[in-house]
Every structure is written in structure tokens, then in C-alpha cells.
A and B are shown apart, each in its own frame.
Chain A
Amino acid sequence: MGRRLLIFVPYFWLLALFLIPFLMVFRISLSDYDLAQPPYSPHFTGNVMEVVRALDWENYTFIFGDSLYLNSFLSSLRIAIISTLLTLAIGYPMAYAMARAPRGVQPLLVMLVILPFWTSFLIRVYAWIGILKSEGLLNLFLMSIGVISEPLSILNTNTAVYIGIVYAYLPFMILPLYATLEKMDDSLLEAAEDLGCSRMEAFWRITIPLSLPGIIAGSFLVFIPAMGEFVIPDLLGGSNTLMIGKTLWVEFFNNRDWPVAASVAMLLLAILIVPIVLFQKVQEKEAGL
């Protein structure tokens, strides 16, 4: 009895906060644009047979017929993949150093990684405007030490978007990596060295494979939100930064076309479900080991 109750809680959570909103958005995506409040007229009210009869994929065909959506998606995909790789490249050495640090210091290091969350996400992204703008901290510093003579224009470019995403999502990469590296058995490395592996070889053949679940978890935690990111490209990116989150915003605010906006959101979800399911599979496999 108690066990059932316990299982009920997550299912209720999923139903109330994911499935119901999902169905609402799905319903809007099959509606027609209308000049009204709210600005769409639904094809159906809820009856299942009615739903099947009224399925109207017009908005979806529209999205596939216009290259803008595909381009935004591909551009988001590129930005998300590059950001994830950068985050991994920066996060892995940090997580590794944390896991190798003396036991007593480790909680402090974990704390430091989490510390930025104590400030609002928006304010942290805002701070980057002050750092990256042409008369900002970074340019002033680089010019004062004589590395550059002209200020670099980083703000309002894709570079600024990468910096913003890597900065904002780095903790999501470090924490799962640290968790797997920290519980790794050191005697495996000793054994490898006893058997003739160099330190480098031992790292590639033992540490990396054993930390793979952490790498995968961290990468998904960065990749999935980066894909749909809106705030960072809006604040740090330029007018030519094309991302699906911004395209969705335009659809919703400028075209006032909720049905098409909802369809874009549904497609984005469908595309993101694939890596999430893969992730689940990997986790299940790991749990089975």
C-alpha cells in the first residue's frame, strides 16, 4: 500500500505538470489562427472521436514547407553540439581535479561549483554583457596588457552565445562527471600500471570508459536545454543568431500565431525525446550491470 502511494507521487507529477500541458499545447497546434482572445479556434473540445475526425496537420505541413524552421533547428543543433563539446572539454578536467583533490576539500569544491546558482540566471547572463561589450571588462583588460589594440566585438555574435551557454551550463556537466569519477576505484589504475600501462594509457583505457555514464549524463543535461535556449541568444546573440527558441518567440509574439508556435514546440519536443530515450536506455543498462 505504502509502496503504491510512493509510486503514485511521481506519476501524478508527470501527469499534472507534463502530460496535461503537453496535451493542451498539442490541441493548440491542431487549431486555427483566430482574431480573438485567446487567438486560436480549436477544432475540437475533448471528445476522442471528434479529435480523430478533426485532426488537422495544416500547421505542421506549413512548418515543413518553410526553410526558416529547418534552418533555425539546424542552427540550434550546431550551437548546442558545439557548446556541449566545449563544456565537456572544460568540465572534464575540472571534475577530474575535484575528484583527485584531498577528501576534506571536495565538499568545498562542490559547493563552489553550485555557488553561481545562488544568483539569478538572468542576472548572471546580464553580467556577461558588461564583460563582453566593446568597452567591457574583457576588452579593457586585454587592451591594458597589450594583447589587442582594437576592442574585439564579441557581444551580439555567436561567440558570445557559446560563452554564455558554456558558462551557464558548466555546473550541469561537472556535477555528474564528478559523481562518477569520485566513486571510481583507484586500485584499478594501480592494477593497470602494474600491468604495464603508462599513466596516459591508463587514463584513456580505464578512467574515460568508467566515467562514460557521467559524460553522457552531463552532455544531455547541457545539450537538451541549450537546444531550446532563448534568453542567452536573445541577450548575448546578434540579430543574425538563428535559434529555434527565438523563432518560436517570433511566431508567438510577432505573428500572434499560437497554433504554428505550438506546432514548432511539439516538433522540438519530438526531436528532443529521441536523445532522452537513448539516455534512459543507457542508464537502464548501467543500472542492470
Chain B
Amino acid sequence: MPSVSQILTLSVSALTLASAALAEEVRVYNWSDYIDEQILSDFTAATGIDVVYDVFDSNEVLETKLLAGGTGYDVVVPTGTFLQRQIQAGVFQPLDKSKLSNMGNIWPEIAARTDRYDPDGTYSINYMWGTTGIGYNVGKVTEILGADAPVNSLSLVFDPANAEKLAECGIHILDAPEEMIPAALAYAGMDPTGQDQASLDKAGEVLKAVRPYIQKFHSSEYINALANGDICVAIGWSGDVLQARDRAAEADNGVEVEYSIPKEGALMWFDQMAIPADAPNPDGALKFIDYILRADVAALASNYIYYANGNLASQPLLNEDVIGDTAIYPDEATVANLYTVSPPAPKVQRTITRLWTNVKTDQ
């Protein structure tokens, strides 16, 4: 869902930056809590190009803007599945790789995985990638479910017996059907990438069984809620949960947050930088992307936001608590258990959205 708070911050940042309209500028539209602001000021210092940086917290909001056209943005960062459909709709321009001097830094393994969304990376370059797993409050979950709480399993949330006990303490799940339906299917032991009617029915059944125990469907609020100890469990994005972990540690409020990749498997997603076809400053956009491709910059970003990047050259520069953490850079055995999904056909999309509305409104 849209968060009006994003729109608010967006308008405020647009206002403060409007005064510098004379200098060359590049307008970037990225996910919330997804960059070290230092990178933006460094980029301006290095190139003399101002950055107007706006944020969103759902692919739907970005996609609607892109499909309407005339967004005014030079760089946008959709997730692979959405990107694939947007490429078909013709909203992006091919990247002029000759202007990307740091292309050599990319991680071929990640590029190979994103090829299914954007063959040969014609339109996009990976910014970050991650998994969708479980964030939990260690102390409270242990207190409620005991020391053998299934924190590395989706049954923590999708088993009504567990969910009921955790409800009082608070469960949030992502407001993103394209991620939660595969998770429900993985829990049910079915193919998480299934989009046929039987799969969707099953996913609906799993989700509806725990619906009464879910406090909120939201895609960014859980970071603070976990960090403040307001909720016990969230199904969320890896780096966001790890940011919550760090915020809690910094606040020293007695809250200990952990992230786990469920043993049933987890969704692996890729956020890709791309340039809209009608970008006002495509050259500036290429300079920005090239800057992000620098090994030291990519490392700075990952060290700050706790997401893995698609930049092989940055790996020696990563902090040990990033590169050494299997929740961020999973080992091979875990990677083998991760899955990726394809964008649904329009008719299926409607069924999925309808199912999601039914689940959320508890009908």
C-alpha cells in the first residue's frame, strides 16, 4: 500500500532541493531506507551534479508512475519481476554500456540470475539483492514459544497455533502479494512459483487461517516496529530486518532482533537500476549508475544498508559483519534453497490482487 509518509518526505525533499534547480541534476527514485546519504553528497562533490533523491516503498507505486509516463526521474530501482513487465511496456531506454566505465566490477553470477528478467542486462544493472525471510524479536519469541521456537521456519507465522500465541505481541507481514503468496506456498510444501488456481487457492487458505493474528500488512513500518520491540515477528526483506537489528542495538533498549532464511525456502529478489525512456537527463543517470558501480561506493552502500550488492569488486571492501553474515551473503547450501518468481499474466494478476484484498479485509 502507499504510504502517505513516503509522499510527505518526497514532497519535503523536492521542496528543499528545488532551490538548486539551476545546476545540472539527476533525479533518483529509490526504495526507502536504501542508501547511505553520504554517497549522494560524495557524488555531487565528485561530479558537480546535484541529486534529487525521492523514495517509495512499493513496486506498485513506482510502476504506476512509470506507466503513466513523464515521471521526471532519471534513475529508478524496480525489482526484477516488475522490471521485466515494465521493459515489455517500453518504459526504459537501453543502457549505453560504453559510458559505464565500471561495468567490469559487476558480479557475473548475479548478472546471470537477473538475465531472466532483463536478458543481457540491456536495460538494467543490479543495485542490491536479498531474500524475503523472518525477522523476529529473540527475547519475546523465546518467552512466548519457548527455547525451541521454530524461528528458522515459516511455521512460526503460518502455523495458526504459533501465530495465535504471537498475535498479542504483534505480527507484521509485507503488503506484497507477489512475495507473500510464494511464501505461503513454500510453507504448504507446494511449488512457491506456482500461479495456477489450485496454488492460489491453497495460498489463500494458509493466509486466511492466520489472518486474525496478523496486526498489519505493511512494507516498511516493520523496521521501526521490530527495532522498538513493538512487534514480535515480521516477514520482511533481509536488509530491512538487519537495519532493525542495528537500530535496536544502537538504542540499547534490550530488544534483540534476528533475521532467518526459512528452511522451507525463501524468495530471492533483485533490485535493478534502470533509466526511464523519457528521463530528462540520461547522461547524468549513466554517470550516477557508473558511480554506484564503483567498488568503494557499492561497498559503502552495502555496509550501511546490510543488503548484498551485485558488485564483485566491492567484496574485499565489505565489513566482516556484511560479507561474513550468511543472512546477507548466503552460503551455497542456502542459495540452493532460494527461489525466484516470474511476473504473473494480467488475468492471473487480477486473481492474485483479489485474493490479497480478500485476505487483508478478512472476507
Contact = CB atoms under 8 A, between A and B. Distances in A.
A285 B89 CA distance: 54
Nearest to B5: A126
A37 B278 CA distance: 11
Contacts of A156: 216
Nearest to B65: A253
B140 interface: no
Nearest to B218: A239
A126 B189 CA distance: 42
B4 A234 contact: yes
A179 B170 CA distance: 49
Nearest to A252: B64
Contacts of A126: 4, 8
Interface string B318-355: 00000000000000000000000000001001100110
Contacts of B349: 255-256
A39 B354 contact: no
A253 B64 CA distance: 6
A122 B4 contact: yes
B292 to A, nearest CB: 25
Contacts of A254: 60, 177, 353, 356
Interface in A239-288: 239-242, 247, 249-250, 252-257
A35 B90 CA distance: 9
A252 B69 CA distance: 15
A66 B354 contact: yes
Interface in A26-42: 33, 35-39
A231 interface: yes
B16 to A, nearest CB: 17
A122 B350 CA distance: 31
B89 A39 contact: yes
Given A253-B2, A254-B356, A242 B361 contact: yes
A68 B357 contact: yes
A198 interface: no
B147 interface: no
B68 interface: yes
Given A156-B216, A234-B2, A253 B61 contact: yes
A149 interface: no
Given A35-B85, A37-B69, A254-B353, A239 B361 contact: yes
Contacts of B91: 37
Nearest to A67: B363
Contacts of B90: 36-37
Contacts of A35: 85, 88-89, 346
B56 to A, nearest CB: 11
Nearest to B360: A239
A256 B61 CA distance: 10
A86 to B, nearest CB: 23
B216 A239 contact: yes
Contacts of A192: none
A75 B309 CA distance: 45
A229 to B, nearest CB: 13
Contacts, number: 74
A249 B2 contact: yes
A235 interface: yes
Given A35-B346, A37-B91, A239-B361, A256 B69 contact: no
Contacts of A247: 357
Interface in B169-221: 177, 214, 216-217
Contact of A256 (B4, B67, B217): B67
Contact of A234 (B1, B8, B350): B1
Contacts of A239: 214, 216-217, 360-362
A8 B116 CA distance: 58
Contacts of A238: 216
B63 interface: yes
Contacts of B356: 254
Contacts of B177: 254
Interface string B79-91: 0000001001111
B13 to A, nearest CB: 16
Task: Report which residue of A37, A38, A231, A234 has the largest number of chain B beta carbons within 10 angstroms of its beta carbon.
Answer: A37
Contacts of B64: 252-253, 256
Nearest to A133: B230
Interface string B41-80: 0000000000000000010110110111100000000000
A240 B360 contact: yes
A38 B4 contact: no
Nearest to B214: A239
A156 B61 CA distance: 22
Nearest to A40: B67
B354 A253 contact: no
Interface in A123-157: 126, 156
Contacts of A71: 363
Interface of B: 1-2, 4, 8, 58, 60-61, 63-64, 66-69, 85, 88-91, 177, 214, 216-217, 346, 349-350, 353-354, 356-358, 360-363
26 contacts: A33-B346, A35-B88, A36-B90, A38-B68, A38-B69, A68-B354, A68-B357, A68-B358, A122-B8, A126-B4, A231-B4, A234-B1, A234-B4, A239-B217, A240-B361, A240-B362, A241-B361, A242-B361, A247-B357, A253-B64, A254-B353, A255-B349, A255-B350, A255-B353, A256-B64, A257-B346
List of 4 A-B pairs having minimum Cβ-Cβ separation, nearest first: A253-B60, A239-B360, A254-B353, A39-B67
Given A38-B69, A239-B362, A256-B349, 16 more contacts: A37-B89, A37-B91, A38-B67, A38-B68, A68-B357, A156-B216, A231-B4, A239-B216, A239-B361, A240-B360, A240-B361, A242-B361, A253-B61, A253-B63, A254-B353, A256-B67
